[in-house]
Amino acid sequence: MKLISWNVNGLRACLTKGFDDFLQSESPDIIALQETKLQPEQVTYAPNGYHTYYFSAQKKGYSGTAVFTKNEPERIRYGIGDPRFDDEGRLITLFYPGFAFVTAYVPNAQDGLKRLDFRTEWEAVLREYLRTLAKDGPVIYCGDLNVAHQEIDLKNPGPNRGNAGFSDEERAMFTELLNAGFVDTFREKYPDLAGAYSWWSYRFHAREHNAGWRIDYFLVREQDRSRIQDAVIYNRVLGSDHCPVGLLWEGAWN
């Protein structure tokens, strides 16, 4: 199976920058989107051959997630069961007989870490949610997780130490998630590969100089690590300040 995740930083804008061409070219079994920035009445895009599921934030032009899948799931869950987070449209779960597919747009801690407490509360709820799902079978968790876990995961770790996305607290929370029984699929396949990033600031020609961060992930249960065929970063794909990331997974829908 080919699975893709992409923070599109506004789906309507990304559609004018080649999103549909990318989707048709790669033809993933499932593609998950973050930061769609769509209200329900603005949802008009439904690609041929896919079942489409959108989850919007109550605030206009903010957050939001979506999943397009070739196979209809047995059921869908929107949100994580806590209105503090669900009002921001941050998580969708698709349940198949063979696995649960979860995509999330994790809250940004923001400048000065002013939203770190909110982020910390999210991480605790999310971690328990994933652990509960993992008791019943394989879980594939993907999205913009808004953290560069190790120094290898960003171009300039020194100056960014303590900033949102590379604070000690956020990195420790990601470690805690891994210790709860999950594997970072990209590092499983490429443990020492530097310069592999999925987000670049629009400032200072960051993408041109590959001064980026790897903050978009696919995670799976530790016991399913042998099913990771490959992990991909589509760093030449434009259309957003993020690029898509992918997972080639040895598995079936049932």
- The residues annotated with a catalytic role in the active site are 105, 144
> What is the enclosing helix (H) or strand (E) of 254?
none
90, 110, 141, 225 from 126: Cα distances, Å: 11, 19, 11, 21
Contact 1, 29 (CB under 8 A): yes
Contact 105, 95 (CB under 8 A): no
Structural tokens at position 74: 């047995």
Instruction: Find the Cα–Cα–Cα–Cα dihedral 125, 128, 133, 139, rounded to 10°.
Output: 80
Beta strands 216-221 and 100-105: pairing type?
A: unpaired
Residue in the structure block whose two tokens are 């789906």: 11
d(C-alpha 194, C-alpha 196), whole Å: 6
10 in helix, strand or coil?
A: coil
Find the helix packing angle between 168-179 and 116-134, rounded to 10°: 10
